[in-house]
Amino acid sequence: MVDITHKSTTLRTAIAQAVVKVSKPETISAIENDTVPKGNVFAMSKAAGLLGVKRTPDILPDCHPLPIEFTGIEYKIDGLEITILFTVKTIYKTGVEVEAMHGASVVALNMYDMLKPIDKGIEIHAIKLLTKKGGKSDFRDKFRKDLTAAVVVCSDSISAGHKEDKAGKAIITKLKTCDITLSEYVIIPDEKEIIQKKAKSFEKQGVDLIIYTGGTGLSGRDVTPEALIPILDRRIPGIEEAIRNYGQDRMPFAMLSRSVAGTINNTLLLALPGSTNGAKESMDAIFPSVLHIFRILKGARHD
């Protein structure tokens, strides 16, 4: 199955349809008058659909097991055609399009099975996805495409040439996927004055996003949060909480994260962990959705 461990949980909705076409008006009358020998067609087919949608990952090997939190089934009769509308909702990391189409298919097959004793000319067609919502595809194109970013690696050992930077490069890779232009990538010692000077310099240059990595641990030598918090105009706790919650779902030590998020005028500043996994997961936790901030910051709206 596709790896979805990096994805964030969101509300996902899918609506699918299937069309059952009978061959004579008497079949429709039997359905409406509840005289079909095998029972109530709509009620029993709905029950079959409810069972079917829950069993989707058991039938289709690449589908993830996921919580089905709502299933809605509607019928519309138009002449000799019965249109089945099948809605599925979940709050999860992946969508429910296949579940909706599978559910609609099962409903249609159950209707066929119940009606075949009285109608030998039944057809099933037009099984398709009508709409889907949720996930990154609903939001990606709403973000500005002209954003610039600076990545600052805070590490005494890396700046001295004793270690190779991997966290900063992981951040840059994520930025590229979000269509953000890298204006500068620098490595500096984890020293308060240098950290503050870099932040103020990038803000004056008009950089939209400044991302620090490193210096957020609990060691007495890690001073990035202490350096950055005093120069912020405002903290944004929701971003910090999102990073920690995302990490905590993946490993128990994320509760110790001292990641910082805030703004200097219209520049967003982030301080992320210095480990490669910590930096990568922090970026996965908030990007691209965090870019919505540039539509609401004063003076940053570009309509």
Residues in the chain: 303
Contact assessment for residue 272 and residue 260, using Cβ atoms and an 8 Å cutoff: no
* CB-CB neighbours of 61 under 10 Å: 7
User: Has 62 been annotated as catalytic?
Assistant: no
- The amino acid occupying position 139 is F
Round to the nearest angstrom and report the end-to-end CA distance of the chain. Answer: 40
Distance of CA 257 to the CA centre of its chain: 23
Smallest CA-to-CA distance from 234 within 193, 267, 200, 259 is with: 267
Contact assessment for residue 49 and residue 85, using Cβ atoms and an 8 Å cutoff: no
- The amino acid occupying position 298 is K
Name the active-site residue from 113, 119, 156, 249.
113
Where residue 22 falls (left for φ over 0; alpha for ψ -120 to 50; beta otherwise) is beta
Rounded CA gap, 292 and 303, in Å? 13
Q: What is the dihedral of CA 160, 164, 169, 171, to 10 degrees?
A: -70
Residues 6+ positions from 282 with CB-CB distance below 8 Å: 243, 246, 247, 259, 270, 272, 273
Active site residues: 113
